Amino acid sequence: MSPRSRASRSAIAHTRLGRDRLVAGTVMQRHRHTIGYVAVVLAGDYLESGDAGRRRVGPGDALVHRPFEGHLDRIGPRGAVVVNVPVPPSRPLPDAFRVSDADAVARAAESDVAAASELLEPAAGIVAVEDDWPDQLAALLRFRADVQITEWADTMDLAPATVSRGFHAAFGVPPARYRAESRARRAFAALCERDDPLVQIALACGFADQSHLSRAIVELTGIAPAAWRRNATH
C-alpha cells in the first residue's frame, strides 16, 4: 500500500491481502487497486477520502474497495493495523460498515483470506463525513457529469481556484479528475454487469460517444472495453 504519487490522476497500487500495518502520521496519496478487497481495521484509525466519500474508521470498521476505486488515506497518530480480504462473491456489501466480529475475520485470514471474507457480517453502517463543501461537491461529481465547477463555486460564494485547491487537498485529485474517474468507474461497472452495446453504455454514463468511453476505460484500467468482455467470456 505504498502507491506512487501522481498529481493529476490516481496511481495503481499493489493490493496486499492479509494483515498490514499502516505507519502513523503518513499520507498515502490517492491510488487505486486492480482488484476489489475489504479493509477491516483491527487497531488505530485513519481517514479515507475516496470514491465513496470521506470516512474516519477505527477498530471494527470495514471499508469495501471495488476494482479501480480511488482513495487517499491519512493515517492517525497511533498508526493502524488492518486485515485485507477479498470481497466475498456470495453477497453484496455496503461501502462501509461495522463488522460483527472483526477478531474472527483476522484469525481466519491468518490461514485463508478467502474464507475470512465469508465472515464479514455487517452489524451497522458507517456514515460518510459529508459535512463541508469538498464532501458536498464530491457527492455531486460522483453521480452528475453535468456539474459545472465554476458555476457551483459561485453558488457557494467561493473562488474557482479555492475550490480546486481545497478539493485537491481533501481528495488528492482536482474536481475534474475526480468526476472523470467516477464516470469511468460507472461505465466499467456497467460493462462488467451488463451485455448492453458499448454505445448504449457510453450514452447512459454521460460520454460523448463509444470512442470517448473506450479511452476512459483504458485510462482507468489499462485495458480496452472489448478486451474486458472477451476475457469475461473465457
Mark whether 113 and 141 lie in a shared domain.
no
In 3D, which of 19, 54, 23 has the Cα closest to residue 37? 19
- Taken in order 49, 55, 61, 67, is the CA torsion positive or negative? negative
Same domain, 120 and 141: no
What is the C-alpha to C-alpha distance for residues 152 and 144, in angstroms, rounded to an integer? Answer: 12
SS3 191: helix
Count H helices, E strands: the chain? 9, 9
| Shared-domain flag, residues 164 and 77 | no
pLDDT in tens, the chain (234 residues): 433 333 446 788 888 999 999 999 999 999 999 999 999 999 999 999 999 899 999 999 999 999 999 999 999 999 999 999 999 988 889 999 999 999 999 999 999 999 999 999 999 888 777 679 999 999 999 888 788 999 999 999 999 999 999 999 999 999 999 999 999 999 998 988 888 899 999 998 889 899 999 999 999 998 999 888 877 655
Domain span including residue 65 = 11-125
Domain count for the chain, please give it: 2
> Residue 87 maps to which CATH number?
2.60.120.10
Pairing verdict, β 96-99 and 122-125? antiparallel
Q: Are residues 26 and 69 in the same domain?
A: yes
Separation of alpha carbons 38 and 46, rounded Å: 15
CATH code of the domain containing 198: 1.10.10.60
Q: Based on the domain organization, do 22 and 97 belong to the same domain?
A: yes
Residue 1, in any domain of the structure: no
Last residue of a domain, one of 125, 157, 178: 125
